[in-house]
Amino acid sequence: MWGRRAFLGASGLALGSVLTACGAKPETTRPAGITPPPTPMPAPTPSPTPTPTATAPAAPALAKVPAPHEAFTGLPGEGNLLAWTVDDGTDTAVVRAYAQFAHATGTRLTLFATASYSSWAENVDVLKPLVDSGQVQIGNHTWSHPDLTSLSDQGIIDELQRTHDRIGELFGVDARPFYRPPFGFHDRRVRAAAASIGYTAPTLWYGSLADSSLISADEIVRLGHEWMLPQHIVIGHLNHAPVTTVFPQLAQIIAERGLVTVTMNDVFSSEQHP
Ligand SMILES: [Zn+2]
């Protein structure tokens, strides 16, 4: 089964780079206390010859597996898939650049939106066609990026529901069941409150581009080499410009390794997205 390890708090920082998130708390290479779980779930079956195309490729032909009902850090089974996920959205130009990169290359992305940032509304024109085609998926990353473990049950629900509604207004999609708890902080109570409104899949990561705070483009490329690996969920951020200067290098890592980018909905089935 998926690891049932609760995240225990801010103290136990994990391996690798420790960085400052868009708040003052660290986001680490992977959520602390979480060992990548063995994944005995059936593997999605990759299409025999994934054919890269210049723009708007069809979703890879995968036999989906049910979305986990607990926190997960990677994609199930063996394969050549990469889930490139990108969070927050404090810099509207970075959101736009990611959308343009996706459009130009066909790269599939899951964007975890912190919906209080104006970048989401400001980039509907470039994002909506990508969301409509399924190439880009929007997940829920709360309204104001709090540590959800510090909120009341109702506070947790309000943070997720407000962003859920905003994503629906802007993009016409149901973001459930995928949410990313800010800083990777969650516990049994957070998961239960989120699940009560349909957010049943806390989506963590195993590998980070470490750019929730400002780091150099070279360091981002180095971390791409380190973490863009088969079946990994990698986290980046829509907050600082350097990543937008090294999209070709990151795309080259993916191409050289024969990785196929996927969204959560490409890999997982759910009530909302069968
Ligand atoms: Zn975040």
152 in any annotated domain: yes
pLDDT tens sequence across 126-148: 999 999 999 999 999 999 999 99
Domain total in the chain = 1
Percent with pLDDT over 90 in the chain: 77
- Tell me, what CATH number does 85's domain have? 3.20.20.370
Contact of 267 with 66, CB cutoff 8 Å: no
**The 3-state secondary structure of the chain, one letter per residue:** CCCCCCCCCCCCCCCCCEEECCCCCEEECCCCCCCCCCCCCCCCCCCCCCCCCCCCCCCCCCCCEECCCCCECECCCCCCEEEEEEEECCCHHHHHHHHHHHHHHCCCEEEEECCCCCHHHHCHHHHHHHHHHCCEEEEECCCCCCCHHHCCHHHHHHHHHHHHHHHHHHHCCCCCCEECCHHHCCCHHHHHHHHCCCCCEEECCCCECCCCCCCCHHHHHHHHHHHCCCCEEEEEECCCHHHHHCHHHHHHHHHHCCCEECCHHHHEECCCCC
Examine the pLDDT at 17 and tell me if it is beyond 70: no
Mean pLDDT of 178-188: 97
Mean pLDDT value across the chain: 86
Residues forming a β-bridge with 65 = 268
Strands 65-66 and 26-28: unpaired
pLDDT tens sequence across 235-254: 999 999 999 999 999 999 99
23 in any annotated domain: no
**Nearest-10 crossing angle of helices 217-227, 247-256:** 20
144 in any annotated domain: yes
Range of the domain at 231: 75-269
Q: Which two tokens stand for residue 225?
A: 């080499």
Contact of 235 with 207, CB cutoff 8 Å: yes
> How confident is the model at residue 62, as a pLDDT?
84
Q: Which two tokens stand for residue 159?
A: 């943070």
Ligand 1 centroid – CA 39 distance (Å): 25
Examine the pLDDT at 269 and tell me if it is beyond 90: yes
256 in any annotated domain: yes
> How confident is the model at residue 126, as a pLDDT?
98
235 phi and psi angles, rounded to 5 deg: -110, 130
Ligand 1 centroid – CA 87 distance (Å): 5
Which carries the bigger pLDDT value, residue 24 or residue 103?
103
Ligand 1 centroid – CA 145 distance (Å): 6
> How confident is the model at residue 149, as a pLDDT?
98
Residues with CB under 5 A from ligand 1 (ion): 87-88, 182
Ligand 1 centroid – CA 122 distance (Å): 19
Ligand 1 centroid – CA 8 distance (Å): 18
- Among 34-38, 110-114, 191-195, 257-261, the range scoring the smallest mean pLDDT is 34-38
> How confident is the model at residue 48, as a pLDDT?
47
Ligand 1 centroid – CA 260 distance (Å): 24
> How confident is the model at residue 58, as a pLDDT?
74
Please give the Cα distance from 62 to 242 (Å, whole number): 33
Ligand 1 centroid – CA 212 distance (Å): 7
Ligand 1 centroid – CA 113 distance (Å): 8
Q: Which two tokens stand for residue 113?
A: 């939106």
Please give the Cα distance from 141 to 110 (Å, whole number): 11
Ligand 1 centroid – CA 52 distance (Å): 30
30 in any annotated domain: no
> How confident is the model at residue 197, as a pLDDT?
98
Per-residue confidence at 28, pLDDT binned at 50, 70, 90? low
Please give the Cα distance from 222 to 207 (Å, whole number): 12
The residue with tokens 């607990």 is 70
**Nearest-10 crossing angle of helices 153-171, 188-195:** 50
Ligand 1 centroid – CA 16 distance (Å): 18
21 in any annotated domain: no
Give exposure, 55-92, as e/b (b: 16+ Cβ within 10 Å).
eebeebebebbebbebbbbbbbbebbbbbbbbbbbbbb
pLDDT tens sequence across 82-102: 999 999 999 999 999 999 999
Taking the CA atoms of the chain, what radius of gyration do you get in angstroms? Answer: 17
Percent with pLDDT over 70 in the chain: 79
5 in any annotated domain: no
pLDDT tens sequence across 49-84: 444 444 556 778 888 999 999 999 999 999 999 999
> How confident is the model at residue 61, as a pLDDT?
82
Contact of 207 with 232, CB cutoff 8 Å: yes
52 in any annotated domain: no
Ligand 1 centroid – CA 81 distance (Å): 23
> How confident is the model at residue 220, as a pLDDT?
97
Ligand 1 centroid – CA 259 distance (Å): 25
